[in-house]
Amino acid sequence: MPKIVRFYETGGPEVLRIEESPLVEPREGEVRLKVEAIGLNRAEVMFRQGHYLENPVLPSRLGYEAAGIVDAIGPGTIGIKIGDRVSTIPSFSIGAYGVYGESAIVPAYAAVPYPENLSPAEGAAIWMQYLTAFGALIEFGHLQKGAFVLISAASSSVGLAAIQIAKSVGATAIATTRGADKKSFLSGAGADHVIVTDEQDLAEGVMAITSGKGADMVFDPIAGPFLEELAGAAAPGATIFEYGALSPEPATFPLFAALAKGLTVRGYTLFEIAKDSGRLACGKQFVYSGLETGALKPVIDRTFPLERIVEAHRYMESNQQQGKIVVEV
């Protein structure tokens, strides 16, 4: 029987359990994957803790991103066949269709081919990061050549994806990180400028880079009181995309900066792209094109075996990672 990961209560990484489970047959519109690699995401940590957009129904599976081989197809499913090498687009219920384990069932529409030149680990590190960044920067933000985009928590997989996407359209990527230990990594990853927020004033740094204008766009997963600092670094008329809530403190709306500069503070999630067929088609084409040209290249920080899933989640919570954390099955 295949091994899968479940949790029976919300809490820390230690609530994750590896269990053997009977092989399940896919229903209509579903496919089953023999999983080769799993990409970890902050959303899964929040879901495990009970602090996510979706509440777990216990016991619950979890996981959005996997790469694997299709080994069963549900009735009436077309456009995909047994033996296809696919990775999953996060466009489904994380609890109902969790992919952590040796076998996973997902909706057929969420299983798409990935480039042959990528490894399964890289295949499991595509869709969450690139579609999340694409949606804000390109689909809604219309990022253009010559614009300045401020990317916070930039050493995360989504942050690195945003740097690559910004560079691919000719924008200037300003990355932020709390500690100096990640500065050289971010420069090597393509950031045009890196601001270490524990050592530098964010607004002063951005104004110096932009000749006093500020950032045309801000892409942030932190929120909390940090939102005030981001507003101070933004240009008149800028949009601040908030796609996460890494700060444990309530977000403070930057009223006076928003009034003075005419700022837009916009909540955003990947699902605005993943659940809209037209936008998703555009996003997939953008990502496939970038992967083909080499403008987009998944950065893998570290891999863990499935047996160390608890350790992998602890590592994600440590915020040490520089890129994607992948579990190989």
238 — pLDDT class (breaks 50, 70, 90):
very high
Cβ–Cβ < 8 Å for 276, 297: no
Residues 45 and 13 occupy one common structural domain: yes
Residues 133 and 267 occupy one common structural domain: yes
Residue 163 CA, distance from chain mean position:
13
Closest CA to 236 of 219, 261, 216, 253: 261
Does 144 fall in a domain?
yes
Mean pLDDT of 185-206: 97
The pLDDT of residue 4 is above 90: yes
Residues 228 and 307 occupy one common structural domain: no
* Mean of per-residue pLDDT scores for the chain: 96
pLDDT in tens, 77-86: 989 999 999 9
Residues 206 and 118 occupy one common structural domain: no
Residues 263 and 309 occupy one common structural domain: no
pLDDT given at position 52: 92
Three-state DSSP class for residue 111: strand
CATH code of the domain in which 152 resides: 3.40.50.720
What residues contact 15, with CB distance under 8 A and at least 6 apart?
7, 8, 9, 48
Does 65 fall in a domain?
yes
Cβ–Cβ < 8 Å for 95, 47: yes
61 — pLDDT class (breaks 50, 70, 90):
very high
Residues 133 and 120 occupy one common structural domain: no
Closest CA to 243 of 275, 215, 266, 214: 266
Tokens of 24: 């399940």
The pLDDT of residue 5 is above 90: yes
pLDDT given at position 49: 96
Does 276 fall in a domain?
no
Whether this prediction's pTM lies above 0.85 is answered by yes
Cβ–Cβ < 8 Å for 50, 88: no
CATH code of the domain in which 116 resides: 3.90.180.10
Mean pLDDT of 18-25: 96
* Residues found in the chain: 329
pLDDT in tens, 147-185: 999 999 999 999 999 999 999 999 999 999 998 999 999
Tokens of 59: 């016991």
Does 278 fall in a domain?
no
Residues 318 and 250 occupy one common structural domain: no
Residues 255 and 304 occupy one common structural domain: no
pLDDT given at position 205: 98
pLDDT given at position 250: 92
Residue 186 CA, distance from chain mean position:
17
Q: Tally the domains of the chain.
A: 2
141 — pLDDT class (breaks 50, 70, 90):
very high
Give the angle subtended at the CA of 131 by the CAs of 249 and 279, to the nearest 5°: 115
Compute the distance between CA of residue 114 and CA of residue 290 in angstroms, rounded to an integer.
12
Range of the domain at 111: 3-125+299-328
Residues 79 and 152 occupy one common structural domain: no
Tokens of 20: 């053997």
Residues 80 and 39 occupy one common structural domain: yes
76 — pLDDT class (breaks 50, 70, 90):
confident
Does 244 fall in a domain?
yes
Cβ–Cβ < 8 Å for 315, 13: no
Compute the distance between CA of residue 76 and CA of residue 96 in angstroms, rounded to an integer.
20
Instruction: Please name the residue that has the structure tokens 């994957």.
Output: 33
Does 279 fall in a domain?
no
Compute the distance between CA of residue 140 and CA of residue 128 in angstroms, rounded to an integer.
17
Does 287 fall in a domain?
no
Does 291 fall in a domain?
no
Residue 310, phi then psi, degrees to nearest 5: -65, -45
Question: What do you get for the CA distance between the two ends of the chain, in Å?
Answer: 14
